[in-house]
């Protein structure tokens, strides 16, 4: 993939970083005649917002960063995410035990899961093989409301439904999907120094030691070990000169673990954190239907009200997938 990107987009690669996009954001602000940029960024959008605060701290308006990536190296983030996904998959196994016909215990659900995965691995059908299965699981583990469709799909496959029971809406091999996958890796590799090739192999082995069949589809930055354009520096993130920034996180988000928000908070000293306790999903504000979160967050862009301390919002009922 690195060779392909160098061949087809080599001259553009140095200009496709988050830092360059932050400059574009400021050009939009200037074109609109706004003295400051108010902004809501979710997931990668939080990383982009953090880059904007580093470059233009005095032009930051009311900024909300939800499901925060964190300020570390992209490859280190990917490794952290891969471990969090293993924990989330265990949570799924525990939740599915005794329902959906997958087994009465987490171990039995895990065995059912592995039987399903072995099917596409042995006999890929219509472009759906083990990699596509892992990507479907990766997608499902990021939102608790997708747990039921995943469990139903696993049961459907085991009862003769075929791979179509496992395929989520939207083809993995669509032009849009391919463009997104390529752009994701290009930007990550443009944002900072790559990992060493030995580091990638070592981390894969460590993750496989935790589980021989881990969910690794989020480790896009591993391709950066083979990248042709080496960034001169890391994309700067955060600034003590920026006004207060509101950070939002789910306590058990496997895609952007809450540690990222706490790390970025140290680079934005005036920032405040809103945490949805007991939740396992990626994307919180105006997404989880939690009035505590939504009211606390909306008060900042609407009224400029910054919480005086960290806000912790409960989830009614047990902290488990729906």
User: Residues with catalytic annotation?
Assistant: 43, 253, 282
Q: Collapse the DSSP code of 155 into the 3-class scheme (helix H, G, I; strand E, B; otherwise coil) and give the result.
A: helix
CA-wise closest residue to 149 among 162, 157, 140: 140
What is the Cα–Cα distance from 274 to 319, expressed in whole angstroms? 17
CA distances from 2 to 5, 160, 179, 227, 228 (A): 5, 39, 14, 5, 7
What is the Cα–Cα distance from 147 to 254, expressed in whole angstroms? 14
HSE-CB of 235 using CA atoms within 13 angstroms: 30
| Interstrand relation of 311-313 and 272-276 (parallel, antiparallel or unpaired) | parallel
Please, what is the angle between helix 130-141 and helix 106-122, to 10°?
A: 140
CA distances from 38 to 4, 28, 200, 222, 286 (A): 37, 12, 38, 33, 17
């Amino acid at each position: 993939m690195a060779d392909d990107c160098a061949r087809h987009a080599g001259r553009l690669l140095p200009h496709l970083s988050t830092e360059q996009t932050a400059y574009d954001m400021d050009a939009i602000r200037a074109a609109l005649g706004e003295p400051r940029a108010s902004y809501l960024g979710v997931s990668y959008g939080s990383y982009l917002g953090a880059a904007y605060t580093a470059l233009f701290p005095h032009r930051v308006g009311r900024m909300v960063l939800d499901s925060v990536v964190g300020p570390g190296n992209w490859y280190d983030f990917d490794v952290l995410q891969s471990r969090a996904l293993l924990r989330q998959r265990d949570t799924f196994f525990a939740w599915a035990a005794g329902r959906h016909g997958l087994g009465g215990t987490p171990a039995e659900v895990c065995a059912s899961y592995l039987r399903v995965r072995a099917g596409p691995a042995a006999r890929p059908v219509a472009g759906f093989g083990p990699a596509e299965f892992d990507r479907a699981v990766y997608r499902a583990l990021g939102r608790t409301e997708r747990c039921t469709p995943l469990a139903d799909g696993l049961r459907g496959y085991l009862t003769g439904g075929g791979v179509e029971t496992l395929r989520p809406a939207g083809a993995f091999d669509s032009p849009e999907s391919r463009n997104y996958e390529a752009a994701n890796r290009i930007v990550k590799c443009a944002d900072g120094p790559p990992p060493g090739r030995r580091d990638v192999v070592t981390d894969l082995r460590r993750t496989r030691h935790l589980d021989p069949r881990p969910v690794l589809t989020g480790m896009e930055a591993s391709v950066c070990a083979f990248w042709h354009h080496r960034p001169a520096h890391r994309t700067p993130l955060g600034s003590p000169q920026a006004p207060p920034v509101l950070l939002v996180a789910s306590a058990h988000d496997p895609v952007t673990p809450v540690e990222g928000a706490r790390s970025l908070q140290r680079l934005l000293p005036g920032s405040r954190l809103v945490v949805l306790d007991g939740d396992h999903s990626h994307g919180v504000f105006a997404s989880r239907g939690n009035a505590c979160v939504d009211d606390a967050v909306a008060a900042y862009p609407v009224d400029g009200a910054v919480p005086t301390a960290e806000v912790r919002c409960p989830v009614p009922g047990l902290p488990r997938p729906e």
